[in-house]
Amino acid sequence: MPSDTPTPASEADDPFCLAEGDAARLLAGHPWRRFVVLGDSVAEGLGEPTPGYPTQPWAERIGLELRLVEPGLRYYNLGWRNTPAAEVRAEQLPEALGFRPDLALVACGGFDALRSGFDAEAVTGELRAIVTALRDGGAEVITVGMFDGSLSPLVPEQYRAALRERLHSLSGRTAELAAREGALHFDLTAHPASARRDIYSSDGRHGSGRSHAIAAAEAVRRLGRRLGTG
């Protein structure tokens, strides 16, 4: 169940976030110049502010940190709410490829997991098509296992177990896919912040400013491991 532990006063006090200067160190000398984001509302960055934390969505935060190292970096976010993985592949992927990215973040499948007809195998197939097309186009690809939203305080108790199973299945399948296809993956599903009440917005489905800061920090740490700086 969600924890009521007090929210840190600011991002600088948050043990899950990066300390000042960490992002610059982790991303030092990165090679990326064209960063694209695809997916549903997670990619779009829906959420609500948290006092003491920046208001930028997590993917935008990643782009800002990359641009501080390489001012010429271009950032393009195609993510849009209520978009199933099949539509991400059919509608967003061609535009993403046309952008000619060398770095791509894929965050989709979460909307599918909320639908009554969720088919984990079909969603995995759509993710595979998206990731392989981006990799074949020359992009480094990041995938993510999203926070375990079954722990949101606004999820009715009778739905928690089924939603948890779906989200953990999707996260595990995405991690396996990333490993096979040479993509970078980071996991928020098992992150201890998933059990924090303060990372969820008032709709129970999206994140707070704190969740966006944590997600951005984990993505930057993963890129740092790829670069050998973290």
pLDDT, tens only, 144-178 = 999 999 999 889 999 999 999 999 999 999 999 99
> What's residue 204's pLDDT?
81
Which letter, b or e, does each residue of 110-120 get, where b requires 16 or more Cβ atoms within 10 Å of its Cβ?
Answer: bbbbbeeebeb
Element (H, E) at 145: strand 140-145
Report if residue 47 sits inside a domain: yes
Amino acid at 49: P
Reduced to 3 states (helix: H, G, I; strand: E, B; else coil), residue 75 is strand
Report if residue 63 sits inside a domain: yes
Please check the confidence at residue 116 and state whether its pLDDT lies above 80: yes
Q: Could you tell me the pLDDT band of residue 3, with boundaries at 50, 70 and 90?
A: low
Report if residue 37 sits inside a domain: yes
> What's residue 12's pLDDT?
96
Report if residue 95 sits inside a domain: yes
Report if residue 75 sits inside a domain: yes
- The token duo for 84 is 């199933």
Q: Is 123 exposed, middle or buried (0-12, 13-18, 19+ CB in 10 A)?
A: buried
8 A C-beta contact, residue 96 and residue 135:
no
- The token duo for 111 is 């909307």
Q: Could you tell me the pLDDT band of residue 2, with boundaries at 50, 70 and 90?
A: low
Report if residue 5 sits inside a domain: no
- The token duo for 27 is 């991303």
State phi, psi for 157 to the nearest 5 degrees.
Answer: -55, -35
166-193: average pLDDT: 97
10-26: average pLDDT: 97
8 A C-beta contact, residue 113 and residue 167:
yes
Please check the confidence at residue 1 and state whether its pLDDT lies above 90: no
126-131: average pLDDT: 98
Tell whether the torsion through CA atoms of 88, 94, 99 and 105 is positive or negative: positive
- The token duo for 209 is 């400013």
> What's residue 172's pLDDT?
97
CATH for 216: 3.40.50.1110
> Each residue of 26-78: pLDDT tens digit?
999 999 999 999 999 999 999 999 999 999 999 999 999 999 999 999 999 99
Q: Could you tell me the pLDDT band of residue 4, with boundaries at 50, 70 and 90?
A: low
Report if residue 84 sits inside a domain: yes
Please check the confidence at residue 201 and state whether its pLDDT lies above 60: yes
Report if residue 4 sits inside a domain: no
> Other C-beta atoms within 10 Å of 13: how many?
10
Range of 55's domain? Answer: 14-227
- CA angle (213 as vertex; 128, 124 as ends), nearest 5: 15
Task: State the total domains in the chain.
Answer: 1
Alpha-carbon Rg for the chain, nearest whole angstrom, is 17
> Each residue of 77-110: pLDDT tens digit?
999 999 999 999 999 999 999 999 999 999 999 9
Give the residue among 100, 108, 52 at the shortest CA–CA distance from 76: 100
